[in-house]
Amino acid sequence: MVLKNAEYIRSLVSVLPDQPGIYQYFDSTGKIIYVGKAKNLKKRVTSYFNKNQQNRKTELLVRNIADIRHMVVETEQDALLLENNLIKKYQPRYNIRLKDDKTYPWIVIKNEQFPRVFQTRNVIRDGSSYFGPYASILTVRMLLDLFRKLFKLRNCKLNLSAENIRQKKFKVCLEYHIGNCNAPCIGRVEHEQYQKSIDQIKEILKGNITGVIKYLKDLMRNFSAEMKFEDAAIIKEKLELLEKFQSRSTVVSNTISDVDVFTIDVDESFGYVNYLKIIRGAIMQTYTMELKKVLDESPEELLEFAIVEIRQKIFSNAKEILVPIKLDIELEGVKFQIPKQGDKKKLLDLSERNSKYYRLEKMKHQLVSKTEKNANRILETMQKDLQLKVQPVHIECFDNSNLQGTNPVSSCVVFRNTKPAKKDYRHFNVKTVVGPDDFASMEEVVFRRYKRLLDEEQSLPQLIVIDGGKGQLGAALNALEKLDLRGKIAIIGIAKRLEEIYFPGDSVPLYLDKNSETLKIIQQLRDEAHRFGITFHRNKRSGEFIKSELENISGIGEKSITALLKRFKSIENLKNHSYQEVAEEIGDSKARLIFDFYRLNY
């Protein structure tokens, strides 16, 4: 690999120390393009220039290096933290990128005389206590609602200093009158008593619900012993709320406490790191971080970066970290463990399932998004090809079916966003037409379909497709005219012979390219309507045939025929069943009549 400023770069590398630290690569404009950490700065940086890089992006990185700077630190942990902070600050082009850069909600207990407890997405180093981040805003809201019911804390922004309260600068507000606040603003709650509530909230947020429950139970017993039954009843209500909340907590082990769990799942472009925070055997926090690969980083490199990032973000000081693979990092006072069995292995498996589930859900979302984009493109094409006023998001197609004039039926299929909406398909028995009259049948069913949609105030399609040429299209137009819908809904006909498209009033049809997406959608509509109609017609014709034959048997009435139709569907099917099975359905005497008629063996 040839470098433009090879001599200068070699001189910088030659003076690097054999100590832990971070190194920064700059391009010719002075911009940081990469930040890295190393146990041994000289060995690590030298490795970039002593071999041919197999990864193309790494090779591009090296070619763009115009300057190198480094910083020596005391420990590898210091290097990890410094690297992480510099990457977040400068966001170098060739470093791992945090794709999921959204802020998560926290619960903050403000550093105040009478602390407020509320939700925030901004962590400010002002002496306040922060708990989180939480992956679910619903969890945060549930906890805050629990605290409001349990402790009736203030939510105002008044400066409740001891002097202001002593001088009676404040008056109670609506929150006090409706029972949501105990009014520390006018001295109705002593600071010590209020602080006990805050301490209990901290214990709950740390996962020590059992300790709070024990404290409240002891307090309730003391109140009862002192005949303070009203106070005891208030404590009992708090206990019930806490125990209900505790029952919803995910307890995974009674022996594991204060453990961080990290696992990773990767694809070609991203790493998905799942994090579980275990306190006193319960999962207190969980979320998944998404990391974009830049230099084809290994799962180990991605996981190392995520561990430092997440632990910094949530202020974790857990002394034990469970991971699925061996990592080349050391954190002061922290033990990395790869469990092979037991409760810790189950926790690791749970975290791995979460990371895999996150990746699969992302893939599904991308597929849906791609499908939606594809549908929008096709709809735009159809609007242009068919010269429609709007995109045909909702399309309906009609087809007639009959056999030598018998059992005339029609079908209506519905497409939404270019896909079949099968729940909206409809069959029609033609009621007013006698004989094989396709035009009259089409007019009847189109009229009935949209008369009903109008009566029920349902949405109308943007496009109607008629399976047939000018005649069927004209019949459908007559129906729309009766309903005052002509000109309000676009309508076309598709003839079978040359797949030509007919428009109302145009004598010359439109011939779309056979590879046109518009034509393919129209053909799919037509074929689906034909399939749906033929299936219905065959079922109806089969039923009519068996019914007409059974009506010729003296002694077999309408109810018996209906029962046989429902059970056996066809004459051949009926003949293949035993006498006993037929008798069970319509009785012994009538079964005998049928078997005699067909000369079947009993």
* Topology match between the domains 259-361 and 394-540: yes
**Antiparallel, parallel or unpaired: β 67-72 and 490-494:** unpaired
Closest CA to 339 of 325, 327, 329: 325
How many other β-carbons are positioned within 10 Å of the β-carbon of residue 413? 26
Distance CA 176, CA 219 (A): 24
Query: How does pLDDT run across 128-185, given as a tens digit for each residue?
Result: 888 877 766 777 887 888 788 778 888 898 888 888 888 888 888 888 888 888 888 9
- 72 in Cβ contact with 20 (< 8 Å): yes
Decide: 253 and 279 in contact? Cβ < 8 Å. no
Residues 6 or more apart whose CB falls under 8 angstroms from that of 398 comprise 410, 411, 412, 442, 445, 446, 449, 464, 465, 466, 467, 476, 529
Predicted pLDDT of residue 188: 87
294-340 tens-digit pLDDT: 888 899 999 999 998 888 877 788 899 999 999 988 888 889 999 99
Lowest mean pLDDT among 204-213, 480-489, 506-515: 204-213
d(CA 59, CA 71): 24
Domain 6-95 maps to which CATH number in 3.40.1440.10, 3.40.640.10, 3.30.1300.10, 3.90.600.10? 3.40.1440.10
Tokens of 534: 């033929």
> CA end-to-end span of the chain, whole Å?
93
CA distances 120 to 92, 139, 298, 360, Å, are 29, 13, 35, 30
Here the tokens at position 252 are 């995974």
* Better-predicted residue by pLDDT, 50 or 96: 96
CB 398 within 8 A of CB 385: no
Of the candidate ranges 207-216, 517-526, 588-597, the one whose mean pLDDT is the lowest: 207-216
Q: Residue 4 pLDDT > 90, yes or no?
A: no
The whole-angstrom separation of Cα 227 and Cα 240 is 21
Sign of the CA dihedral with 586 first, then 588, 590, and 592 last? positive
Is the four-CA dihedral 301, 303, 306, 310 of positive or negative sign?
negative
- The answer on pLDDT for 417 being more than 70 is yes
CATH of domain 394-540: 3.30.420.340
Q: What is the pLDDT of residue 421?
A: 92
pLDDT at 542 over 60: no
Q: Which of 317-326, 337-346, 554-563, 579-588 has the lowest mean pLDDT?
A: 554-563
- The residue-averaged pLDDT of 52-69 equals 81
How much is the pLDDT for 404? 47
pLDDT-derived band of residue 438, with 50, 70 and 90 as boundaries?
Answer: confident
Return the higher-pLDDT residue of 602 and 354: 354
Mean pLDDT of the chain: 83
Helices 470-482 and 438-455 pack at an angle, to 10 degrees, of 30
Q: What average pLDDT score do residues 423-448 get? A: 84
Burial 127-161 (b: 16+ CB within 10 A, else e): ebbbbbbbeeeebbeebbebbeebbbbbeeebebe
Q: State which of 180-189, 235-244, 366-375, 544-553 shows the largest mean pLDDT.
A: 180-189
**Is domain 552-597 annotated with CATH 1.10.1240.10?**
no
What number is the average pLDDT over the span 15-29? 90
Residue (of 300, 437, 328) closest to 77 by Cα position: 328
Residue range 223-260, pLDDT digits in tens: 888 888 888 888 888 787 777 666 555 556 667 778 99
Range 353-368 average pLDDT: 82
Beta bridge pairs of residue 261:
276, 322
Report the alpha-carbon distance of residue 191 to residue 187 in Å, rounded: 9
Residue where the block lists tokens 């080349």: 328
Query: Rounded to an integer, what distance in angstroms lies between the CA atom of residue 95 and that of residue 106?
Result: 28
Q: Which CATH number fits domain 259-361: 3.30.420, 3.40.50, 3.30.2020, 1.10.246?
A: 3.30.420
Rounded to whole angstroms, how far apart are CA atoms 81 and 330? 12
Q: Compute the distance between CA of residue 206 and CA of residue 202 in angstroms, rounded to an integer.
A: 6
Examine residue 105 and say whether the peptide bond preceding it is cis (omega within 30 degrees of 0).
no
352 vs 290: CA distance, rounded Å: 14
The pair of three-digit structure tokens given for residue 298, joined into one six-digit string = 């290994």
Strand order in the sheet with 320-322: 97-98, 282-292, 270-279, 259-266, 320-322, 335-337
In this prediction, residue 546 carries a pLDDT of: 52
Q: What residue spans define the domains of the chain?
A: 6-95, 106-206, 259-361, 394-540, 552-597
* Percent of the chain surpassing pLDDT 70: 89
Evaluate if residue 464 carries a pLDDT over 80.
yes
| Per-residue pLDDT at 81 | 80
